[in-house]
A and B are shown apart, each in its own frame.
Chain A
Amino acid sequence: MKKSITMILSLIFVTSALLTGCGGNNNATNTANKGKDTDVKTEEKVSEEPFEMTIRHTQIGADKEKRFAILQDVVKTVQTEVPGLTFKLDGVDSDVNRKEKLRGEMAAGSTPEIFELFGSPDSKIYAKENKLLDLTPILAELGIADQFSNLDPFTYEGKVYGLPIGGSGEGFFYNKGYYESKGWKAPTTFAELDQQLADIKADGKVPMAGASKAGWVPLMLANHLWSRYAGPDVTNKFATGEAKWSDANVVQGFAKYKEWVDKGYFKKGELGFEYAEYTTQFTSGEAILMYDGTWKSSVFKAGQSGEGLIGKVGFFNLPAVDGGVGDQTALMRDVNNGYGFSATVANDPRQLAAVTSFIKNFYNEQIQLRGLVEDGVLPSMKIDQAKLNESITDDLMSEIVAVLNTSQSSFPAFDSLVQADVTTEISNIQIQSLIGGQTTPEKMGAAIQKVQEEANAAVE
């Protein structure tokens, strides 16, 4: 008995050892050496002694390869510009980086020198405690201080502590092939959208992708809905007490979401799925619509997981709702994902030079356009309109830009406007309770408002 087990095990072992030999030598990373910067190596040779700096990024997984390639190219350029410098790239899931790693490291004073940073409210808390490098002098030195379209999320007491990588807007991606087969167009009214959802459901398909294991995913759409019903600026007013989560208009937004859940418009079992699954539901053709950020457009490029849908994906804004407050074309837009730098960098002139070089090589027109073309990230810097148009070649991107141009105003996502407690309450508890049927829209509004009031009362 035991002998045979040993036999089988050793066989399996040998097989896997063979496979190891086959698979060991190709690393998944794409190290193509494009985008060589023309800048000359003018840095003074302070010291050639090797030193190391760490960049914490969140470009992990197959869908972010393009973005990772861009970062790698910038890293290479900076390494040639700064003698002796070696960058260590440290990839972490973005939610983990934001909510766990970085917060722990900030407390410990052990952050990497360069890290992806969430603008508001995170960067303000860190800036207040002097954990972040003040970038104002570097921006002045490089002369790019006024080139960013919006630095508010990263600004604290007039100083800049982080730089947005790009911008994003959120709306519906839809399966054009399916829409055409039904003779439909992207909905222009809410009633039309509702009707389409019902028809898709009746057709036996999943109307909307769903993956709510992490609360922020369903909250993208929910956020847009309550902002339609209660006004684009309503979320701003929660922290100041001018508006309440339990206001009838806000609750109406929750109620609409709940209605869609109850009608079975989202993929069943969504509470158990990770965000990665969200995309798969859409790219596999199972779900016809997917509410997501414009960053998702990078998936629909050659060699990516949504390759099969190239040219068959469209994008539209959430239509106006009946009786909605404020601008009904408002789009949820963010420039909240950026890079920040450890305050300790200021103590070391060589590290400071490296950071300056990193900013120079990362935040320029060329990289911004490359991000747009290759990765579908909207620019965070002001780019010449003609150049912009010239760079946009695929249909999806033009549709996205069209949506951006037709929306008359924008508002940031709720998690950049309310306190961390409130974000936790709504994304870890309330939205999942709503989806799971354990709460009602009214109770949900009241519960969040309670946490909001506690947070407002606590003196920071």
Chain B
Amino acid sequence: MNKALRNPLAFTLFVLPALFLFMMFFIYPIFSSIYYSLTSWNGVSDTVKFAGLANFKKALGDERFWISAKNNGLFICFSVFIQVPLIVLFSLLIANVKKLKGLYKTAVFMPSIMSTAVIGILWGFIYEPNIGLLNKLIGLVGIEPIYWLSDERFAMISILITNAWQWTGFYIVMVLAAILSIPGELNEAAMIDGATGVQRATRITLPLIMPIITVVIMLSIAGAMKAADIVIVMTKGGPAGSTEVMATYMIKYAITNFKYGYGNAIAVLIFMFTLLVTALYQLLIARRNERIEY
């Protein structure tokens, strides 16, 4: 029986369209990137010259590249060490209040359905030095205006805050759902045993939502490695390249400087870095709890 489900032709027809697109937009580009990363092609010419590993040597020796890599690292650190604790805290608080639960959930989630570009514009206005909300607020307590996006010391943190503002709510709702799906009996039993709210949160809830927190961290890392649009919209990588991330660095070189080959070398490096970070995370942390199962 079950011949229908063993039909290889039907199987092929079912997988083919998605597989074709997948190969074309994921697998082929990787090889294409690797190929061009070994050339000095300018992106315009008809002739493509082989350049060996020169592009990689140049990238790894370029201070600007490392600044952009460091900024991707800052994105990751900010998510993992500042956002994640906040996410857990707020989710626990929302899960335990009786009133207004719906309002909190609805409101915190809202920024994550909006486009990053529009949020970048909105926050650009908030950071505006003369009439922006933030400087007006700190002006109330007598602090001199800060040039948030044009001062090298503040530009990166300003972007990180905007990014966190947009995505924290999204993750809160995810974690919240996990908390609410924990059977009530567990908590009740603990309550009868005389556990306090904090104890219940750390001993019962937290271990149970660890898998979802792992997912949140993985998604944050993936998001951090991809970050580019928010930087382009808010600072264009400036001032003086201080907020450049790897993706914007790549675009700048490949398109603006006629260095398609070099840009592709950066792409390959981004790819390798992402694999490295993911692998490290899986090995060091995720394995101890529970491996992600999709």
- Which residues of A approach B to under 8 Å, CB–CB? 1-2, 99-100, 103-104, 106-107, 125-126, 129, 131, 212-214, 268-273, 420-421, 424, 428-430, 432-433, 435-436, 438
Contact = CB atoms under 8 A, between A and B. Distances in A.
Interface of B: 42-46, 64, 102-103, 127-130, 145, 147-152, 235-241, 252, 255-260
A435 B151 CA distance: 10
B103 to A, nearest CB: 6
A131 B149 CA distance: 39
Contacts of A2: 102
B150 A272 contact: yes
A271 B260 contact: no
Contacts of B130: 269
Which 10 pairs across A and B sit closest by C-beta, in order of nearness? A272-B150, A271-B150, A432-B240, A433-B240, A271-B239, A269-B147, A269-B129, A107-B43, A432-B239, A429-B241
A272 B149 contact: yes
Contacts of A270: 150
B158 to A, nearest CB: 10
Given A213-B150, A268-B129, A436-B151, 19 more contacts: A99-B255, A103-B43, A107-B44, A125-B42, A129-B45, A213-B236, A214-B236, A269-B129, A269-B130, A269-B145, A269-B147, A271-B147, A271-B150, A272-B148, A272-B150, A424-B252, A432-B238, A432-B241, A436-B150
A424 B257 contact: yes
B258 A103 contact: yes
Given A106-B44, A125-B44, A428 B241 contact: yes
A416 to B, nearest CB: 15
Contacts of A107: 43-44, 260
A405 B44 CA distance: 41
A420 B237 CA distance: 18
A356 B22 CA distance: 46
Majority secondary structure of chain A interface residues (helix, strand, loop or mixed): helix
B44 A129 contact: yes
B190 to A, nearest CB: 32
Majority secondary structure of chain B interface residues (helix, strand, loop or mixed): loop
A213 B252 CA distance: 15
A100 B255 contact: yes
Contacts of B236: 213-214
Contacts of A131: 44
A246 to B, nearest CB: 18
A271 B43 contact: no
Nearest to B128: A272
A421 to B, nearest CB: 5
B134 to A, nearest CB: 13
A75 to B, nearest CB: 28
A116 to B, nearest CB: 17
A430 B240 contact: yes
A432 B151 CA distance: 10
- Interface centre among A129, A268, A424, A428, by most chain B C-beta atoms within 10 angstroms, is A428
Contacts of A126: 44
A435 B239 CA distance: 9
Contacts of A432: 238-241
Nearest to B41: A107
B150 A438 contact: no
A147 to B, nearest CB: 31
A1 B103 contact: yes
A104 B256 CA distance: 9
Contacts of B148: 272
A103 B255 contact: yes
B66 to A, nearest CB: 14
Contacts of B102: 1-2
- Interface centre among A273, A432, A436, by most chain B C-beta atoms within 10 angstroms, is A436
B269 to A, nearest CB: 19
B153 to A, nearest CB: 9
B147 A268 contact: yes
B46 A129 contact: yes
Nearest to B234: A272
B64 to A, nearest CB: 7
A1 B105 CA distance: 14
14 contacts: A103-B256, A104-B255, A107-B260, A213-B235, A213-B239, A269-B130, A269-B147, A272-B239, A420-B256, A429-B64, A432-B241, A436-B150, A436-B152, A438-B152
Contacts of A429: 64, 240-241
A119 B151 CA distance: 34
B273 to A, nearest CB: 22
- Interface centre among B148, B150, B260, by most chain A C-beta atoms within 10 angstroms, is B150
A54 B74 CA distance: 44
A126 B43 CA distance: 11
Contact of A428 (B103, B147, B252): B252
A125 B238 contact: no
Given A428-B238, A432-B239, A436-B240, A272 B129 contact: yes
